[in-house]
Structure 1
Amino acid sequence: MESSNETCLFFEKNSLSATTIALNNVPTYKVSTNLQGSTTKVRSAATNVLIAHMDAGKSLRISKWLERTTLADGTAFTLRIADGEFFLRSHHVHRLAFYGTDQASITAHWNKLPSGSPPLTLIVSPGLERSHAQIIAAFIYSEQKM
Structure 2
Amino acid sequence: MTSENTPDPMAVREFLEVLHPLLRRMRAERTLSPGKVGILHHLSLHERATSTELAAAVRVSPQAISLAARELEEMAFIERVPDADDRRKTWIVLAGAGRAKLEDEARAGEGWIGQAITGQLTDDERRILKEAIPVLKKIGLEVPRG
TM-score class, shorter-chain normalisation, is under 0.3
If you compute each CA radius of gyration, which structure gives the higher value, 1 or 2? 2
TM-score by length of 1: 0.23
TM-score by length of 2: 0.23
More strand by share: 1
